[in-house]
Amino acid sequence: MICTRRTPALTDPAVIIPNLHWRYSGVTATNRMVAPRIARLLPAIWFGSDAPEGLHRLTFGGLLRLWRRPKPVVWHARRNNEMMLGVLLRALGWPLKLVFTSAAQRQHTWTTRMLLRRMDAVIATSDASASYLTVPHVVIMHGIDTARYASPSDRDAVFAATGLPGRHAIGCFGRVRAQKGTDVFVEAMCRLLPKYPDFCAVVVGEVTSDQRGFEGKLKEQVRVAGLADRVIFLGELPIDEVPRWYQRILIYAFTSRNEGFGLTLLEALASGNALVAARAGAAEKVVRDGETGLLVPAGDADALAAALEPLMREPASAVAMGQRARESVETEFGVDAEAAKIVDVYRRVLSDKH
């Protein structure tokens, strides 16, 4: 859990942002990034764990004090349990306007469909996730904090300070599991690293107890390939360390087999990494193929290796791609624009008298 300094109570919120999940996740990360921007536009308060620095926090006592007040408050859920609690609280007399953000690119369960019908507004994070919705919705793509995720002034020096072997690194970030395509990345590295001694590979991400065997097989594959000192598994890192690792790598591999959005796409682009991305999540909307990154089929180690190799062979081309990537994010995917669009949704539901 991320600790924050205590802030004064917000007694008249317009928006409650719940985060009811015990483990830090991509949903939590996107929530924490946009919430402070929302709070600049409307009085917003955080309910749950991992509150962003400086954002007001709602206690259970504060929640009780909102019961039956005449002024409505937006409850913006991003998970089923948050929708359920919002529906229950409204039924018990809390003056909530319910908003849900849907990132899933799959058919929703009957429970989710039932809950969605009780929302006052639904936001989809991409056209792909919107295609699975059967209720009215608006598409608002995620944005990124371009100050937090930024290109270093001297990437070579930042990498050299790590003490890792070689001169450049390729990164793959996210929970270590098949859904994230960690095995696809490792397979590509086992083929390419022996040919390019200036490169090493870095895997950053949590390994849950049920995935220890999966990780163990990947490490054994790396050992058999003679690359144990060049494919580094860093595990889960403190959230404040992650932007620094984007700055330390030259190329980022987005290897998910399926993804709701894939915020690491924007994190890598904003950090000026050359990007090779599987066609999953929002990749086809975020990446301009051949310009700001390269798109490959999901789950295809051959295609991933073929796309990575020219960038490894000519690192200068990777640098140039990373520069174009950074420019594209600055103009198209800033988090402030995302927050403004979300607040427009809030204002619409708050003005609705029904």
Count of Cβ atoms closer than 10 Å to residue 336 Cβ: 14
Domain count for the chain = 2
Segment 33-37 shows an average pLDDT of 93
Share above pLDDT 90 across residues of the chain, in percent, rounded to a whole number: 82
pLDDT in tens, 195-234: 999 999 999 999 999 999 999 999 999 999 999 999 999 9
Question: Based on the domain organization, do 128 and 30 belong to the same domain?
Answer: yes
* pLDDT (average), residues 232-248: 94
Query: 320 lies in a domain?
Result: yes
pLDDT band at 9 (very low <50, low <70, confident <90, very high): low
Q: Is there a single domain that holds both residue 137 and residue 188?
A: no
Does residue 273 share a domain with residue 167? Answer: yes
- Residue 4 domain-assigned? no
- How far apart (Å, rounded) are the C-alpha atoms in residues 112 and 81? 10
CATH number at residue 99: 3.40.50.11010
> Is position 1 within any domain?
no
200 contacts 172 by C-beta, under 8 angstroms: no
pTM: 0.80
| Residue 2 within any structural domain of the chain | no
Look at residue 343 and give its three-state secondary structure.
Answer: helix
Is the same domain home to 172 and 301?
A: yes
Percent of the chain with pLDDT over 70: 97
**69-78, 121-130, 178-187 — which is least confidently predicted?**
121-130
| Residue listed under structure tokens 């066609």 | 279
Detail the DSSP E strand segments found in 178-226: 199-204
Q: Please tell me whether residues 315 and 180 are part of one structural domain.
A: yes
Residue 137 included in any domain: yes
- Asked if residue 250 is part of any domain, the answer here is yes
Domain coverage including residue 33? 15-143+335-351
Q: Please indicate, yes or no, if residue 150 is contained in any of the structural domains.
A: no
Q: How far apart are CA 205 and CA 235, in angstroms?
A: 5
pLDDT value at residue 334: 87
Both 170 and 69 in one domain: the answer is: no
Residue 25 binned pLDDT confidence (cut-offs 50, 70, 90): confident
105-114, 136-145, 315-324: which is most confident: 315-324
Q: Do 87 and 101 fall into the same domain? A: yes
d(CA 159, CA 288): 27
